[in-house]
Amino acid sequence: MGWKPHVTMTFRPSRMAATIIAFAMALLCFLNLTAALSPKALRSFGAGHRMTSVFEFDDGSGFVANLELITGTEIYGPDISPLRMIARYDSDDRLHVHITDSIHARWEVPQDIIPRPDSSSLVTHVKERDMEHSEGLDPARNDRQLQLSYTVEPFGFAITRTSTGECLFNSTPPIRQDSGEPAFNSMVFKDQYLEISTQLPRNNSLFGIGESTRPDGLRLTRGRLYTLWATDIAAYKVDVDLYGAYPFYMDIREGGATHGVLMLNSNGMDIWVGEDMLTYHVIGGVLDFYFFAGPAPLAVIDQYTNLIGRPTPMPYWSFGFHQCRWGYETIDEIKDVVANYKKANIPLDTIWNDIDYMDAYKDFTFDPVRYDENTVREFVKELHANGQQYIVILDPGISVGYKNYSTLERGLKDDIFLKNEFGNNYLAQVWPGPVYFPDFLHPKASSWWTQEIADFFDKVPFDGLWIDMNEASNFCTGSACSFDTLTLGMGKNDSDNDRCLLHCVNGTSRFDDPPYKINHVGTYDNLGVKTIAMTVKHYNGVLEYDAHNLYGLCESIATQKTLRDVTGKRPFILSRSTFVGSGAHTAHWTGDNKATWEDLKYSIVSVINSGMFGVPMVGADICGFAGNTTEELCRRWMQLGAFYPFSRNHAALGTNSHEPYIWESVAEASRKALGLRYRLLPHLYTLMFEATKSGAPIARALFFSFPKDLNTLAINDQFLLGRSVLISPIVAEGLTSVNAYFPKGTWYNLFDFSKIVSTGERRMLPAPADSINVHVSEGQILPMQEARLTSAEVKKTPFTLVVVFSADASASASGKLFVDSGVDIEMGIQDGSSTFVQFFAERSLHSGSLVSRVIAGNYALEQGLVLQSIRFLGVSGPVSDVIVNGERIVSAEQLSYDARLESLQVSGLSLLLGRDFELRWAMKELRWATQ
């Protein structure tokens, strides 16, 4: 049989011209081109597969196809045949392609971990159709944005955009012009090796695929291999697999049209990004693709998080500033830190404890001398009285080296620990010494975990949990380990506990040493190095080989449920290891960075990527975790970190202290930067609310707001909070100015309201030692409050609106505000427990207006929330008339105009935020008639 392209077409006379263009572009999916080959794709794997039959779903939403091997090879093991493919529209903007063994069930991400539509349930409701003359998957409804076509032999499929016919993904190999050979392999499907490629245009930009530290910046680099394998390795190690795994990317084409691709697979994989191709090399599972139509970047994230889970709401207080250190040896030392923050007049909402507080590093314990339980409880009571919080760390490893350790005893009784290949509890080593790991796939593990946390909470009412070391990290490597009595008691809060003291047998199975070697930590070794052995079994026989990348996510799910049950409040959880869907349960930080200028700069890309993956509450360790920072570095990092969504200063054991009050220059810079952050808390919290509804990142790359501006695709050292607050930090030593890029429009500095009108260009701006550049763009109405030392105090202050107009003769602006208690489990608009306000403003040459529209206003009324002042930016002259809700303002003290800033300030309003209001103004030559 020959190569047969099948291109979906739907002709409509009224759209004939567009249809012809779409048809031509769709054909380009199958034209020959030259592709750069991945170093790991050079081997030929036979002739691929052919399609043997097609069955259409009765509801017209997709089809099931059977595939058989044409010819294969024994490279990486025998091929699997026959295969089954399901292609289906999940929605008008999402298309799902699932390929697996048609006879034997294979591992895939469980439905209870990431709930999603199950297309296999429709397989019994099908009818056979003529595959030779069918049109693939046709968007029969006009509003379906994607279409699928396929080749019969060798089998391949292509995804195109319905409106333009542009090819977005094509797995059929083109023919190389120089050799006449296929440019890449047809699809390969073996037990421990899956390979599939797609053609790429040379003028697109790819973003995503993580987690790793990216010195090259946000945009994926052509000619690079990206490895996905959850690994405990310091984040200052660049271009290697880190703590999380995200097989998701966004593709931005010329003109800004964007789509997304998720390959939902938890097995280890390499993803090669070539000059004009992208190749997946996966060591197990299934090919499970989801295609998101966009076409705007924010629309892609909306569609992606609609599938994998919307970000979980974070408590209001968590947007305040946090302080942590590995090395606070006593509770008295922590008390001094909190007192020093207050003395230095630097905001602090939450104090954290690293593993120092534990008794011999055992989970759910306090050291009886250094962290006496009663003393800690009284301290936490004082924190709560001051509107502050307390968070502690938990590691998953449960110590087995001590008698009468009730957490271990209850876990043994419920039999919830991971098992080695011989059926015994799997022994590993972390900070307490010998440990067992809970199996969070076990149905009894959640109730055991809940009981342990509940008992711990009864001792000390902490406000959140930090789950660390959950890749899972293991100081030993081996499929079966044992210990002797000399190992017992090693967990005596000794920082040298990371030497393996167990006696281990290294795994030699096909799972520990699979036939295809992913580029794990840059050089291949046993997959189980410094983690759980690949032959270890979870509940129901699930292998660690398959579930490894899910460990942190599963622990996050269990912890979130537990905190909801135990506290009755909105949980705050910070997890190191994450996977697709983790944002629905936890916040994240970028891991163990270092006190270097490079790490400061890298953090921006890492934070943006996390938000893109669906985890918007993210930050990096401010001033650097490892190594000794300098005064200048810490000052600049405090300025940058003040605008991370999650803002925490954190240092490692053995490093010099770098709390911001240590140096006066850092303290001064921190007061200024954190002061603005705390004034912006209403904006940050409203962005959190939006994230829970649409997945929109809090910290965003500039291209999210300006996708048609190609310059924004290369901006790696600036970011936006929401759609229009631009952060332009200093990222290199010795600089007192910043060369910042400003997309086209009018921008105002949020510190002094100085103006920049940009055509889409870089501007050199002063950045003295105590300052960071923060600007807001035209079209934004920004809700703000007053700076205080805690978020609880900020909530009591009146609101201000900053309304930003463009320089055009006629301009408009809009904004939103969401308020609630900040701790209710749900974060939604509900009368009596929250209030949502939309603001709309317009301005002409002679007049302007601002109105609010309130939904569920009772909460704001009950809380007495008031709008005290409004600053209008971009008003070209003084006003003579301001009318608020029909009443003219006559007091000159309430009105001020600054011609230099083009700023109109209206003060002393005391407007209730829970009620609609209308404000109008006129220039001096025009007066409004009052009603």
- Centroid of chain to Cα 23: 37
481-534 pLDDT tens trace: 998 865 555 555 454 568 899 999 988 899 999 999 999 985 556 899 999 999
- 137: confidence class by pLDDT, cuts 50, 70, 90: low
Predicted pLDDT at 696: 98
Q: Which percentage of the chain shows pLDDT scores above 70?
A: 90
Is 468 known to be catalytic? yes
Predicted pLDDT at 764: 98
Considering Cα of 36, then 40, then 43, then 47, what sign does the dihedral take?
negative
Separation of alpha carbons 138 and 88, rounded Å: 10
- Which residue pairs, CB below 8 angstroms and at least 24 apart, start in 40-44? 40/225, 40/270, 40/272, 40/279, 40/281, 40/516, 41/184, 41/185, 41/195, 41/197, 41/272, 41/279, 41/281, 43/73, 43/75, 43/185, 44/73, 44/185
**Across 186-195, 428-437, 882-891, least confident range:** 882-891
Predicted pLDDT at 28: 52
Q: Does 16 fall in a domain?
A: no
Q: Are residues 387 and 536 in the same domain?
A: yes
pLDDT over 60 (residue 129):
yes
Q: Are residues 234 and 330 in the same domain?
A: no
Half-sphere CA count of 766, side-chain side, radius 13 A? 6
pLDDT over 70 (residue 216):
yes
- Overall number of domains in the chain: 3
pLDDT over 50 (residue 17):
no
Q: Does 301 fall in a domain?
A: yes
676-687 pLDDT tens trace: 999 999 999 999
Q: Are residues 399 and 251 in the same domain?
A: no
Predicted pLDDT at 880: 85
Q: Does 609 fall in a domain?
A: no
Q: Are residues 280 and 357 in the same domain?
A: no
Predicted pLDDT at 329: 97
- 333: confidence class by pLDDT, cuts 50, 70, 90: very high
pLDDT over 80 (residue 899):
yes
Prediction pTM value = 0.95
Q: Does 557 fall in a domain?
A: yes
Q: Which two tokens mark 840? A: 């709309």
Considering Cα of 437, then 439, then 443, then 446, what sign does the dihedral take?
positive
Q: Which of 195, 592, 599, 902 is catalytic?
A: 592
Separation of alpha carbons 516 and 192, rounded Å: 8
Q: Which of 169-178, 207-216, 921-930 has the highest mean pLDDT?
A: 207-216
Is 496 known to be catalytic? no
337-365 pLDDT tens trace: 999 999 999 999 999 999 999 999 999 99
- 24: confidence class by pLDDT, cuts 50, 70, 90: very low
Q: Are residues 125 and 166 in the same domain?
A: yes
| Mean pLDDT within 664-674 | 98
pLDDT over 60 (residue 655):
yes
Q: Which of 93, 232, 241, 471 is catalytic?
A: 471
pLDDT over 50 (residue 11):
no
Contact present, 921 and 904 (Cβ < 8 Å):
yes
690: phi then psi, degrees, rounded to nearest 5:
-65, -35
Q: Does 640 fall in a domain?
A: no
| Mean pLDDT within 190-217 | 97
Q: Does 683 fall in a domain?
A: no
Sort strands 799-804 and 811-820 into parallel, antiparallel or unpaired: unpaired
Predicted pLDDT at 5: 37
pLDDT over 80 (residue 121):
no
Predicted pLDDT at 927: 52
- 36: confidence class by pLDDT, cuts 50, 70, 90: very low
pLDDT over 90 (residue 214):
yes
Q: Structural domain of residue 750, as residue ranges?
A: 690-923
Predicted pLDDT at 3: 32
DSSP classification of residue 313: P
DSSP classification of residue 447: H
538-582 pLDDT tens trace: 999 999 999 999 999 999 999 999 999 999 999 999 999 999 999
| Mean pLDDT within 169-173 | 96
Q: Are residues 296 and 324 in the same domain?
A: no
Q: Are residues 331 and 299 in the same domain?
A: no
Q: Are residues 274 and 380 in the same domain?
A: no
Q: Does 620 fall in a domain?
A: no
Q: Which of 526, 559, 589 is the last residue of a domain?
A: 589
Q: Which of 529, 562, 589 is the last residue of a domain?
A: 589
pLDDT over 60 (residue 176):
yes
598-611 pLDDT tens trace: 999 999 999 999 99
- 59: confidence class by pLDDT, cuts 50, 70, 90: confident
Is 471 known to be catalytic? yes
Q: Which of 468, 544, 621, 778 is catalytic?
A: 468
Identify the CATH number of the domain in which residue 81 sits: 2.60.40.1760
Q: Are residues 303 and 338 in the same domain?
A: no
Q: Does 746 fall in a domain?
A: yes
Predicted pLDDT at 143: 85
Identify the CATH number of the domain in which residue 550 sits: 3.20.20.80
pLDDT over 70 (residue 703):
yes
Q: Are residues 266 and 164 in the same domain?
A: yes
Q: Which of 563, 589, 615 is the last residue of a domain?
A: 589
Q: Are residues 302 and 332 in the same domain?
A: no
Q: Are residues 717 and 747 in the same domain?
A: yes
Predicted pLDDT at 395: 98
